[in-house]
């Protein structure tokens, strides 16, 4: 059969989710009544699947990833900054060995701040996630090639926390994984990056720019959970997430 | 050379998260991984230099716009013969459109068996204006509105080009598979 130009447009707009709900409703009725139209829809869905078939492997080479990362931290300027910081630290150490706590606290504060800022940006943005999916089997491969570690993606839907999607945030100039969960009207961001700053057992909790933040590490990865949910609510989420991540 | 560290941080924040999307767009538009790497490298330099011009908002759209434009300028310079940009539809594509769909139910089955390499070849044969909208829709999963912004087209044109691009691809793959 030959589709009219009008039907061709409708069909495309329908599978792209670009029809209004009324138009989509009418089109669904036509699909049930017209097998030719339904078959044309199937062909277009098959084309979509075929186009996406090698998508997970279609990622830039490690060399290119390194070159771009290098551009983000040119040695000419960060180098001078680092050497300045190093001599500053050395100076402080020589001055009396009081520096460590302050410096360490300072950098941790900074990471916390970046994680919370990313959460806030996500809330304000029209698209709080780069990939929209409640399926952990969709989310996990999506990170492939975007970051160089495998983040924990916990399915907590049975406990009432819906996985909304994921995005890449940048902390200390490195891309990190952020998962977005929702419960009621509250959004919870979980940011993950490799490293083992905090001891495995402790979970620290503080308030930053009005948001509550839990930070912990499992010895391999560092985690931050940020939300405007009630403290006990977020704490429950964190415990569930920790339990799920230790078994997965 | 000296770079402002805040600009570097901004580049890292804006460009790095979209590196995979940038690469995929360049790969589909250029048709080869090696060319795509060159294009993304060049696009990253452009983005780096122009980072102060990024006014905030949708960083992904900003990055993809740069990659799209870089792809075309890179192809015009290095692979001029590969770049079919002229006109709305070339004659060959038009004649393929005029043929009726073959019996479409087996069509879906046939398409499902086509290999990734064949799909890439068929995409490479599409005129660029059709290829880019289909890639931004099917690979990057962008809305018509977002595609219109990136490709600098009216939204109605995006809609009709996507519909026709699908038709062209099905005609091409149906022919190969049959």
How close B26 gets to chain A, by Cα (Å)? 10
Say if residue A124 is in the same domain as residue A217: yes
Does B91-177 match B5-82 at the fold level? no
Q: Please indicate whether, in this complex, the C-beta atoms of B16 and A175 are within 8 angstroms of each other.
A: yes
* Structure token digits, residue A142: 């999506």
Say if residue A122 is in the same domain as residue A200: yes
How close B29 gets to chain A, by Cα (Å)? 13
Q: Please indicate whether, in this complex, the C-beta atoms of B167 and A8 are within 8 angstroms of each other.
A: yes
Domain boundary among A36, A53, A70: A53
Question: Please, what's the b/e burial string for A164-195 (b: 16 or more CB within 10 A of its CB; e: otherwise)?
Answer: bbbbbbbbebbbbbbbbbbbeeebbbbbbbee
* Average pLDDT in chain A: 80
Say if residue A44 is in the same domain as residue A115: no
- Flag whether A86 is in a domain: no
Q: Which chain A residues touch B2 with a CB distance below 8 Å?
A: 76-77
Percentage of chain B surpassing pLDDT 90? Answer: 57
Whole-number Å distance between alpha carbons of A154 and A178: 12
Q: Please indicate whether, in this complex, the C-beta atoms of B37 and A61 are within 8 angstroms of each other.
A: yes
CA dihedral of residues B159, B160, B162, B164 (deg, nearest 10):
160
Domain B91-177, CATH number (from 1.10.3720.10, 2.50.20.20, 1.10.10.10, 3.30.420.40): 1.10.10.10
**Tally of residues, chain A:** 248
Say if residue A44 is in the same domain as residue A110: no
How many domains are contained in chain A?
2
Q: Calculate mean pLDDT across residues B42-70.
A: 90
Point out which residues pair with A167 in neighbouring strands. A178
Size of interface A-B (CB pairs under 8 A): 161
- Flag whether A46 is in a domain: yes
Whole-number Å distance between alpha carbons of A149 and A153: 12
- Flag whether A165 is in a domain: yes
pLDDT tier for residue B3 given thresholds of 50, 70 and 90: low
Q: Calculate mean pLDDT across residues A139-150.
A: 83
Q: Please indicate whether, in this complex, the C-beta atoms of B2 and A42 are within 8 angstroms of each other.
A: no
pLDDT tier for residue A106 given thresholds of 50, 70 and 90: very low
Q: Which chain A residues touch B138 with a CB distance below 8 Å?
A: 47-48, 51-52
Interface test with B, best of A46, A62, A75 (most B CBs within 10 A): A46
Q: Quote ipTM for the complex.
A: 0.84
Phi and psi torsions of A11, nearest 5°: -60, -45
Cα separations (Å) of A70 from A74, A200, B8? 6, 31, 10
Whole-number Å distance between alpha carbons of A13 and A17: 6
Q: Please indicate whether, in this complex, the C-beta atoms of B8 and A127 are within 8 angstroms of each other.
A: no
Q: Please indicate whether, in this complex, the C-beta atoms of A64 and B40 are within 8 angstroms of each other.
A: yes
How close B23 gets to chain A, by Cα (Å)? 6
Domain B5-82, CATH number (from 3.30.70, 1.10.1740, 1.10.10, 2.60.40): 1.10.1740
The predicted pLDDT at position A133 comes to 77
The predicted pLDDT at position A82 comes to 54
- Flag whether A80 is in a domain: no
pLDDT tier for residue A237 given thresholds of 50, 70 and 90: very high
Q: Please indicate whether, in this complex, the C-beta atoms of A2 and B167 are within 8 angstroms of each other.
A: no
Q: Please indicate whether, in this complex, the C-beta atoms of B159 and A36 are within 8 angstroms of each other.
A: no
- Flag whether A163 is in a domain: yes
Interface test with B, best of A1, A6, A11, A16 (most B CBs within 10 A): A16
Say if residue A133 is in the same domain as residue A23: no
Domain assignments of chain B as residue spans, ordered by start: 5-82, 91-177
Say if residue A129 is in the same domain as residue A11: no
Whole-number Å distance between alpha carbons of A208 and A197: 19
Q: Which chain A residues touch B3 with a CB distance below 8 Å?
A: 74, 76-77
The predicted pLDDT at position A50 comes to 93
Cα separations (Å) of A134 from A53, A73, A154, A164? 20, 34, 11, 5
- Flag whether A85 is in a domain: no
Whole-number Å distance between alpha carbons of A20 and A157: 29
Question: Greater confidence, A243 or A99?
Answer: A243
Q: Which chain B residues touch A143 with a CB distance below 8 Å?
A: none
Q: Which chain A residues touch B102 with a CB distance below 8 Å?
A: none
Q: Which residue of B has its CA nearest to A40?
A: B104
Q: Is the pTM of this model over 0.80?
A: no
Say if residue A18 is in the same domain as residue A137: no
The predicted pLDDT at position B84 comes to 58
pLDDT tier for residue B1 given thresholds of 50, 70 and 90: very low
Whole-number Å distance between alpha carbons of B156 and B148: 9
The predicted pLDDT at position B106 comes to 72
Interface test with A, best of B89, B104, B126, B139 (most A CBs within 10 A): B104
Point out which residues pair with A177 in neighbouring strands. A168, A192
Whole-number Å distance between alpha carbons of A129 and A126: 9
Q: Which chain B residues touch A178 with a CB distance below 8 Å?
A: none
Q: Please indicate whether, in this complex, the C-beta atoms of A60 and B13 are within 8 angstroms of each other.
A: no
Say if residue A20 is in the same domain as residue A121: no
Q: Which chain B residues touch A68 with a CB distance below 8 Å?
A: 15-16, 19, 40-41, 44
Q: Calculate mean pLDDT across residues B103-116.
A: 76
The boundaries of the domain holding residue A21 are 5-53
Half-sphere exposure of A42 (CA within 13 A, CB side): 18
pLDDT tier for residue A105 given thresholds of 50, 70 and 90: very low
């Amino acid at each position: 059969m030959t589709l009219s130009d009008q039907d061709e447009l409708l069909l495309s707009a329908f599978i792209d989710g670009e029809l209004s709900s009324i138009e989509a409703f009418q089109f669904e009725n036509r699909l049930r009544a017209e097998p030719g139209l339904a078959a044309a829809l199937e062909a277009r869905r098959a084309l979509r699947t075929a186009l996406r078939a090698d998508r997970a492997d279609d990622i830039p080479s490690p060399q290119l990833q390194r070159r771009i990362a290098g551009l983000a931290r040119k040695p000419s300027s960060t180098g001078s900054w680092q050497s300045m910081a190093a001599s500053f630290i050395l100076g402080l150490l020589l001055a009396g060995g009081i520096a460590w706590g302050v410096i360490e606290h300072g950098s941790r504060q900074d990471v916390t701040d970046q994680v919370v800022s990313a959460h806030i940006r996500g809330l304000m943005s029209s698209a709080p996630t780069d990939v929209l999916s409640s399926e952990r089997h969709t989310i996990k491969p999506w990170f492939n090639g975007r970051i160089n570690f495998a983040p924990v993606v916990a399915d907590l839907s049975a406990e009432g926390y819906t996985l909304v999607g994921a995005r890449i945030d940048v902390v200390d100039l490195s891309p990190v994984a952020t998962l977005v969960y929702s419960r009621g009207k509250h959004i919870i961001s979980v940011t993950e990056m490799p490293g083992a700053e905090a001891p495995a057992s402790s979970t620290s909790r503080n308030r930053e720019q009005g948001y509550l933040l839990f930070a912990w590490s499992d010895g391999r990865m560092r985690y931050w959970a940020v939300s405007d949910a009630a403290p006990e609510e977020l704490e429950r989420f964190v415990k569930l997430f920790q339990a799920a991540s230790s078994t997965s | 050379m000296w770079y402002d560290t805040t600009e570097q941080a901004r580049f890292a924040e804006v460009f790095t998260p979209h590196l995979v999307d940038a690469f995929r767009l360049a790969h589909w538009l250029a048709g080869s991984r090696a060319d795509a790497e060159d294009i993304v490298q060049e696009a990253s330099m452009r983005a780096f230099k122009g980072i102060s011009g990024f006014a905030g908002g949708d960083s992904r759209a900003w990055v993809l716009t740069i990659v799209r434009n870089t792809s075309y300028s890179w192809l015009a310079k290095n692979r001029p013969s590969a770049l079919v940009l002229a006109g709305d539809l070339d004659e060959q594509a038009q004649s393929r459109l005029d043929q009726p769909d073959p019996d479409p139910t087996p069509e879906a089955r046939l398409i499902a068996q086509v290999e990734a390499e064949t799909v890439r070849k068929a995409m490479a044969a599409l005129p660029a204006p059709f290829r880019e909208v289909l890639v931004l829709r099917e690979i990057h999963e962008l809305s018509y509105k977002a595609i219109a912004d990136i490709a600098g087209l009216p939204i109605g044109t995006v809609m009709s080009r996507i519909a026709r691009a699908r038709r062209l691809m099905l005609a091409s793959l149906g022919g190969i598979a049959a």
